[in-house]
Chain A
Amino acid sequence: MAEAAIELVGINKSFGAVHANRDIDLKVHRGTIHGIIGENGAGKSTLMSILYGFYQADSGSISVNGKPTTIDTPNDAIAAGIGMVHQHFMLVENFTVLENVILGAEGEPLLNTSIAKARSELQRLERDYGLEVDPDAVIEQLPVGLQQRVEILKALYRGADILILDEPTGVLTPAEADHLFRILAQLKDEGKTVVLITHKLREIMAITDAVSVMRQGEMVATRKTSETTVEELAELMVGRRVLLRVEKGDANPGDVKLAVRNLTVRDSRGVTMVDNVSFDVRAGEIVGIAGVAGNGQSELIESISGIRRALSGEVTLDGSPIDVTGTADPGELRERGMAHVPEDRHHVGLVLQFEENENSILGYHDKPQYLSGPLLNRDAIVADAKDKIEKYDIRPGNPMLKTANFSGGNQQKIVLAREMDADPGVLIVGQPTRGVDVGAIEFIHKRLIDMRDQGKAVLLISVELDEIRSLSDRILVMFDGRIVGERGPDATEGELGLLMAGVESKEAAE
């Protein structure tokens, strides 16, 4: 193999008492795709932020292409030929592609020369790497996959030889992800080096040459991808054996608990987000809604759960109607036995500034057992929170701790504990494992199956296709606000992927 494009030796980084990176050594060979996996909080992003100059390491050294390099700012990183594509795009929404590409590299007071230069440079990059984007398109009108391509172009335009991608596929359809992987492969063939940060084991196996696993701030292993397995990597990440596939028996669907008929929802701008959607969820089954983020799933569950007004349509819960176009109220629906784990636990499902016990009653704070007159019954609430902490293995087990100090997985468990413990007839779950570590994912999946087996109707929304496929008894695919197909749990990923991309079912079958 050729010399190392990046070599990190003995990198340490602490934030207060948290040792985010501990004696990290990493060698990325030139012209390879190198994956870095690890749970949330394992220190992947911190390490890459050190490499890109957002943070400075407390100790350790960085060499780029064999030369010791000091990287104090992102500008140093760019000068050393390192480019980064962030998880959340750093694009100016109402600028064109060209304007975004030259941003920060404008050169002269007048833009015409740099624009012209960028235009010819973009044509070259397009030729070399198959990165075609209309240079005059406005960013906000481009689909997410193309926006990401602009981020890659930005890095290449600045002369990046080493490209770091942070969770690049989180927002992409399977087809878009495949296209991204083809681009990365082409970059590799042209001699570029790619560092791919992800928590998706499948992607690691599909595209990388080598993979490094991080756990709790340490680099626990580096393997050649061809010499490892998904099971081994998962075990290295978590530190114990993990069940990747959820064990579940057959569903026993009963009566219809939740019926949605011709539901149409518009967002605040008047754009139709949910378009004439109808489906049923029966007791004892999990119905999964697959789809790329932003195709109306969020608006659908918000309107069913009473948070967002629908424009038209009917929804019934246990046979009696919910006034989704008028006065439906989340509090009233909760009393009628509908629980809701929202997609955005940070802003909707929890109040991060609250103590854990305060969040464990959010939405249920009207229940008589939590009250004594107008006062909250603190003793009862704390006792109840302790009980849930025990049952759902929430850590640290301190109900007085501020919620913001819990990890993502444990925050999600706080929400799940609250909603599941209310013993609802219908459970609506949005992105149950987003930003949750592998160990907690296993736990959450088991609980959802338990709910199903207890005869609850579960409506699941997730952008993780694997999650939908392994949990659901029926899969509905949503595209552009409509349900474009229904499949069984044995549907292949390719079939669902085509539906998610809006290719109609007949074509998909061919």
Chain B
Amino acid sequence: MSAPYAKLPGWADYGLIPVINLLVAFLVAGLVVMLVGENPLRAAGILVEGAFGRGQSIAYTLYYATSFIFTGLAVAVAFHCGLFNIGGEGQAYIAGVGVAVVCLTLDGVFPWWINFPLAILGAGAVGAFWAFIPGILQAKRGSHIVITTIMFNFIAASVMVYLLVDVIKPAGSMAPQTRTFLEGAQLPKLNWVIEMLGLPIRSSPFNITFLLALVCAWLVWLLIWRTRLGYEIRTQGHSPKAARYAGIGEARIIVITMIISGALAGMMALNPIMGDQHRVQLDFVTGAGFVGIAVALMGRSHPVGIIPAAILFGALYQGGAELSFEIPTISRDMIVIIQGLVILFAGALEHMFRPQIQTIFATLRPRSSGVEAPSGEGA
């Protein structure tokens, strides 16, 4: 209580603290690596090399990051309204139906640049619908959004299994997936961007959905901090009572926020389906919806934080795959442990080192913009 206390400058708040949290996460992960008898420095080297070492690996990292940007933004928008949308996984998964409908019907009719906007609408609409139901249940019936969105993840998974096995699987096929799309539903790659930097790429799934993700990040910033709707969302998120006082309809704002959140999560489906696999497969989301929660936490629900956080988790996905390939004793599950540690330290324990850092800052710069420590009214 009595330690010196100072308000941190922005760069420390948004830069230093995440970096320290990250270092601690890797330190603990290093201990785990030592525990299985491997050299943690070598493992770290392989991880970084695997994520950024070659053009190929950078492309894969950014491909994963693309998905995480969408789901991270989805979680962030809901956070700003005080809602915890855990359903990004299910919203993205079910949105595959929206993509499939557009692609399977029109891939032979239109070129990709007409089908892509249509598929964006399809994915967004289906994802939005899947978030709308928990949203309206929260707004009108008070059903807790955390519970309902989790349940909707399971419902989405079951529905997708049913659809892929019984409805949209081509007759005679043994695999629970749609037919491969024609060229009209295959998105152009962005490999040339990385090759321009002099890093050759054989093949990668990195595609123009990445650009859509960046546009969405900008739109989310615009929405939250520059529009009337965003103002209302933030008011509701910070203080529902103030929102009521200001005449902002709680039910309306919750439903609208969930629709936007679901649409963003839904657009994640475009990346693997149209950008990479060119078909809808079982489990194509592979946890991106949940990683989005960590990305939003780490990125402080701000697009400028979410993009680097998404790239970090993309690197962990990609570098982790290389790591388990190079050092077989470090299995896929070990990578999940490392990711878990990053989420733990960067997300859940975000403020663990804050008091110490504030003390250091207060001691170093006693004239910095200090504020009084929280005491009672009328100190």
Q: Which residues of A contact B (CB under 8 A)?
A: 14-18, 20, 40-46, 49, 54-56, 86-88, 166-167, 199, 305-307, 329-332, 334, 340, 342, 344, 347-354, 358, 362-363, 365-366, 371, 374-376, 378, 405, 408, 435
Contact = CB atoms under 8 A, between A and B. Distances in A.
A348 B377 contact: no
Given A41-B378, A351-B238, A54 B4 contact: no
A170 B333 CA distance: 59
A366 B248 CA distance: 10
Given A15-B373, A16-B362, A332 B239 contact: no
Contacts of B368: 16-17
B277 interface: no
Contacts of A46: 375, 379
Contact of B235 (A40, A55, A334, A351): A351
B226 A55 contact: no
A44 B378 contact: yes
A497 to B, nearest CB: 24
Contacts of B235: 351, 354, 362
B245 A378 contact: no
B246 interface: yes
Contacts of B366: 16-17
Contacts of A14: 4, 370
B174 interface: no
Nearest to B7: A16
Given A329-B247, A331-B247, A348-B239, 14 more contacts: A15-B372, A16-B6, A17-B367, A43-B379, A45-B376, A307-B244, A330-B247, A344-B241, A351-B238, A352-B239, A362-B245, A363-B246, A363-B247, A378-B226
Contact of A363 (B6, B245, B370): B245
B228 A340 contact: no
B242 interface: yes
Contacts of A306: 247
Nearest to B247: A331
Nearest to A334: B247
A87 B241 CA distance: 24
Contacts of B7: 16
A166 B379 CA distance: 10
B227 A376 contact: yes
Interface in B345-379: 362, 366-373, 375-379
Nearest to B362: A16
21 contacts: A15-B373, A18-B370, A18-B372, A20-B372, A41-B372, A45-B377, A46-B379, A49-B375, A54-B1, A87-B378, A88-B376, A332-B247, A349-B245, A351-B234, A351-B239, A353-B238, A362-B245, A375-B222, A378-B226, A405-B371, A408-B378
Nearest to B366: A17
A375 B362 contact: no
Interface of B: 1-2, 4-7, 222, 226-229, 231-232, 234-235, 238-239, 241-242, 244-249, 362, 366-373, 375-379
A376 B370 contact: no
Contact of A20 (B226, B242, B379): B379
A331 B376 contact: no
Contact of B369 (A17, A56, A166, A307): A17
B228 A350 contact: no
B241 A45 contact: no
* Chain A to chain B: the 4 pairs with minimum beta-carbon distance, closest first: A16-B370, A331-B247, A17-B370, A363-B246
A435 B42 CA distance: 60
Contacts of B242: 347-351, 362
Given A40-B377, A330-B245, A15 B370 contact: yes
A81 B376 CA distance: 23
A378 B225 CA distance: 10
A375 B226 contact: yes
B2 to A, nearest CB: 5
B379 A366 contact: no
A419 to B, nearest CB: 11
Contacts of A16: 4-7, 362, 366, 368-373
A88 B239 CA distance: 22
Contacts of A371: 228
A54 B376 CA distance: 11
